[in-house]
Amino acid sequence: MAGISAPTPSFAARAGQFALRWSLVIALFVAWELLTRTRTFTPFMLPSPQSVSERIMRDASSGDLFINMALTIYRALAGFIIAAMLGISLGLVMTRNAGLRWFFDPVISVGFPMPKITFLPVIVLWLGFYDTAKISMVVFDAIFPILTATIAGVRSVEKELIWSARNLGARERDVMWQILLPAASPQILTGLQVALPIALIVAVVAEMMMGGYGMGGAMIEASRKADSRGVFAGIIEISIIGWIFVKAMAMTRARLLFWHAER
């Protein structure tokens, strides 16, 4: 039904609704401020919002903040993109090749539910403390949800769709790239949406374990030095990256799947 316009609420009404909606968040911030003011917690346990924001500003002006953020984003995204390319192509090829399916099916069914992060020390042993090790760990962890989503997505493509394409003269290659991939893309994108936060979590853990530049390394160093402001500043900075990732992924999905009736 077109021509339906929601009545525009007044500014005051909208401000009221906004305040109600964010009341608990605001209350949490007020409580944080009060708890630090009244010294219920020591500044070590809970540094004041002001000191944390000062710390973020200082990190920003010295440039450390941007180096750390950029490195963490680079490692998470590089691993994610490699995992996406490998996962989607392997998943597509597997559905068309019985031999590959025979080999990888049990590997995936055992590998998917395993806590892959345990292999981090092994990867360090093999690849050292450099970016290669961190990115490899991200790939190893992020590839499983993408791979399983691709396989499930291709499997759920209706046979009639493939048959109609063949009937219209599509060859095997065309079927894979022009029919299977787009038809499975809603599920593949869901897999990617699961994998991206995992990539960030793993990148941060790898940095924490191996140290050096990057958000994880900076936070763990702050923690070791009992620098609680640094730790809290890190939490807020990493949350911002996480938030940007989630929003960007949702926007990508909406863009790519404009033809798909979501919900």
Smallest gap from Cβ 158 to other proteins, in A, equals 21
Q: Under rule CB under 8 A, which residues in 78-107 are in contact with other proteins?
A: 102-107
Binding mask 136-175 for other proteins (x = CB under 8 A): ----------------------------------------
On whether the CB atoms of residues 52 and 229 are closer than 8 A, the answer is yes
On whether the CB atoms of residues 195 and 84 are closer than 8 A, the answer is yes
Stretch that binds other proteins, among 167-175, 183-191, 202-210, 251-259 (CB under 8 A): 202-210
Q: Under rule CB under 8 A, which residues in 9-38 are in contact with other proteins?
A: 20-25, 28
> Residue 211 gets which letter from DSSP?
-
On whether the CB atoms of residues 44 and 226 are closer than 8 A, the answer is yes
- Comparing CA positions, the residue from 82, 58, 64 lying closest to residue 217 is 64
Q: Is position 220 an interface residue for other proteins (rule: CB under 8 A)?
A: yes
Cβ proximity to other proteins, 162 vs 213, nearer residue: 213
Smallest gap from Cβ 108 to other proteins, in A, equals 10
**Which residue in the set 79, 87, 214, 234 belongs to the binding site for other proteins (CB under 8 A)?**
234
Smallest gap from Cβ 168 to other proteins, in A, equals 30
Structure tokens at 223: 């923690």
Stretch that binds other proteins, among 62-70, 165-173, 211-219, 252-260 (CB under 8 A): 211-219
CA distance linking residue 48 with residue 53, whole number of Å: 9
What single string gives the DSSP state of each residue in 1-61? --S--PPPPPHHHHHHHHHHHTHHHHHHHHHHHHHHHTTSS-TTTS--HHHHHHHHHHHHH
Binding footprint of other proteins, residue count (CB under 8 A): 63
CA distance linking residue 67 with residue 142, whole number of Å: 24
Q: Is position 73 an interface residue for other proteins (rule: CB under 8 A)?
A: no
Q: How far is CA 208 from CA 30, 99, 211, in A?
A: 31, 40, 5
Q: Is position 241 an interface residue for other proteins (rule: CB under 8 A)?
A: yes
Amino acid (1-letter code) at residue 188: I
Give the interface with other proteins as residue ranges (CB under 8 A): 1-7, 20-25, 28, 44-45, 102-107, 110, 113-122, 124-126, 197, 200-202, 204-205, 208-209, 215-216, 219-220, 222-223, 226, 228, 231-232, 234-235, 238-239, 241-243, 245-246
